[in-house]
Chains A and B, each alone.
Chain A
């Protein structure tokens, strides 16, 4: 490959960010981002599934016949999603409940199948691993950004992971009393996504000159 290892790793963060630039995996992006902690949970789950499915698909790329490759990828991905589901159910029941239907829906998240098809089945195991980390972290960053905006304006709080005495919820003085509720609703998510996408388009064009 012409790309260096570093490029493979970092392209998912900004240049080919899965959410804002390639526009993949939008359903969970909008569905779970009402609280920051859900965004983090979803992001970590996707990183886990993406890393392992990319590694396995890259390992098996010469064994899987071309004609049945998509169903085979789906089975591999579904197996890892089931693992995530069971682990979350056991160790993080609150996030498991909040993510709800979007957790099993990681199976049909276009990012994972997209990376399998576009990257893992033609590259080495190491590169596929780096690609998965980059894309997964890019996805998580996008999720956290959207969740942060929606939660701060929509509810006036920032919900993080509770540690010790800290219950994990930061309250923002004025917005907590007078939240802009529309941000937490479906409509707010779609509007915000539109404005963010427009901003990134504008930013990319300005950078190009």
Chain B
């Protein structure tokens, strides 16, 4: 049941974009159409899942035994940067179709706060390896959900007249704010109601 709780927590209750402010840059930058939103979301989810595993292993079997915990930030960002490059190479070689879809988003992921954020959060929350992986995937799904919803809102909004100074980014922020208000309906009581 703990895994169900992790999934619900990171997709709805602690949605990375709408309650934690992690990954706001792609949320505003890549949400203009739903196709690229799905592409970005999938790429981020994929990298977050793998990054959670690798950073957890690095922390537990390298940094803690060697007493180098203060190098956490430095080593995590290096792992993520290397991982993103590696994933890019593999996808490019083995599945050109997927590369076409995700290709342009991959380099952006290194500097996405959500990836480094989940890696650090897994450590501070004291998750096990499997819990970290689930949290990574769940946070990625939550990120994708918010991004896709946002892109649909923005596609619709293109059809309606918007005041000149509100066009583009400002109205996107305001829509995001309203969406965050709606997401406030998901709180800790959701967990107790669902799982007892």
Contacts and interface: CB of A to CB of B under 8 A. Distances in A.
Interface of A: 23-24, 26-28, 30-31, 70-71, 74-75, 78-79, 81-82, 85-86, 101, 104-105, 107-108, 110, 113, 182, 185-195, 197-199, 201-202, 205
Interface residues of B, number: 43
A66 to B, nearest CB: 15
Contacts of B110: 70, 74, 108
B86 interface: no
A71 B18 CA distance: 29
A112 to B, nearest CB: 10
Nearest to B112: A108
Nearest to A202: B165
Chain B interface, DSSP helix/strand/loop, else mixed = helix
Interface of B: 18-25, 28, 70-74, 77-78, 81-82, 110-113, 116-117, 120-121, 124, 163-166, 169-174, 176-178, 180-181, 184
Contacts of A202: 165
Contacts, number: 123
Given A31-B21, A190-B180, A197-B173, A85 B28 contact: no
A105 B19 CA distance: 16
Chain A interface, DSSP helix/strand/loop, else mixed = helix
Contact of A78 (B74, B163, B170, B180): B74
Contact of A74 (B23, B78, B164, B176): B78
B71 A201 contact: no
B74 A75 contact: yes
B74 to A, nearest CB: 4
Contact of A86 (B20, B70, B81, B176): B70
Given A30-B21, A31-B20, A78-B77, A193 B173 contact: yes
A199 B170 CA distance: 9
A27 B22 contact: yes
A51 to B, nearest CB: 19
Contacts of A110: 25, 111
A198 B162 CA distance: 12
Contact of A185 (B20, B111, B172, B184): B184
